[in-house]
Amino acid sequence: MPETYFHRLHASTETRLWINNPTPDEARRAIAQGAVACTTNPTYGAKMLKADPGTVETMVDEALEPDLGDAEVAHRVAARLTKRVMEVFRPVHEASGGTLGWVSIQGNPFMEHDTDHILREAREYRDLGPNFIAKIPATHSGLRAIEVLVGEGFPVIVTEIFALAQAVAACELYRRVSEATGQRPAYYVTHISGIFDEHLKKVAERDGIRIDPGLLDQAGCMVARKQYRLLKERGYPGVMLGGGARGLHHFTGLTGGDMHITINPDTADEIDALDPPVEDSIHAKPDPAAVAELCDKLDVFRQAWEEDGLAEEAFSDYGPVQHFLDAFKRGWTALEACVASRRALLVG
């Protein structure tokens, strides 16, 4: 197979490709392109309902039990769907000695406020295979769950990170728990750059804020680069993981460092087709005037940019977190609606 952009990227930098929410076929193609691991999120069931409705409906029918609610059936179906992708990536996991080939699962978004529920889901998902990695939000409830899981040796992706304060809280937590317990499982600290840009545009439009749209397109990458520098300067454990891409620059604008980035299959295909040059973009310095304008006009950007911009108690209600969570809830609701429909059809 011809060498791809991602192969050249891997050969000349430490930046690595992950693939997000793939079908099993898309997962195999991504591995051929150079993907080293995989993320899924609560919209995965909704995607598979469009891509392969027959398979999802069959899984729902097999999981239906009279004493199980729709949410619990959806939980079991999401696990089964993701297990198929875990099996695709398992050879990557084994060949890497257990350091790559991860496949993440993030559970019911309506239960993100419940630490005990998050823990139950993660412990159940772990039985799916050795390359499972828990994906848990950087909120107060999520961080309490991460504290327990790291102490138990669970590999973890800390997700829904938009603000520096969230990243620092996640890294300090891991350092404290690992020093206390001796556990040092795989740990990835995200920055959800594209969704951040998307939310800034929503706020600017809602509030009638006049600002260059091109500047809003770069805001997420600016915060991500600052987060990368901060994590490296402080020697925090773990690997930074970019996510939530809404444009090609949310991958190509963050390359060149010891960082992994997850993108959707269609975005990977588009980048592959364009075959851009491999560049060191993660170390690009921000334009002070651009930062000042964003901080002045958009408080939500200032809260992300300043290390003390958010208190932990405010993480859950932070606008970009809620923006992302709303999308997860829509996806999960679609899967639950399928469960309810199949239940009515089979019972009726």
Mean pLDDT of the 314-319 span:
98
Residue spans per domain, the chain: 5-347
CA-wise closest residue to 339 among 156, 139, 172, 108? 108
Mean pLDDT over the full length of the chain: 97
pLDDT in tens, 226-285: 999 999 999 999 999 999 999 999 999 999 999 999 999 999 999 999 999 999 999 999
Phi, psi of 192, deg, nearest 5: -95, 75
Token code pair at residue 38: 């995989």
pLDDT in tens, 226-242: 999 999 999 999 999 99
CATH superfamily of 5-347: Aldolase class I (3.20.20.70)
Q: Which amino acid is at 225?
A: R
Q: Which amino acid is at 304?
A: A
pLDDT of residue 1: 46
Mean pLDDT of the 145-154 span:
98
Token code pair at residue 42: 């609560």
Residue 149 CA to residue 213 CA, distance in Å, equals 40
Residue 251 CA to residue 145 CA, distance in Å, equals 29
- Give the distance from CA 207 to its chain's centroid: 28
Residue 175 CA to residue 236 CA, distance in Å, equals 7
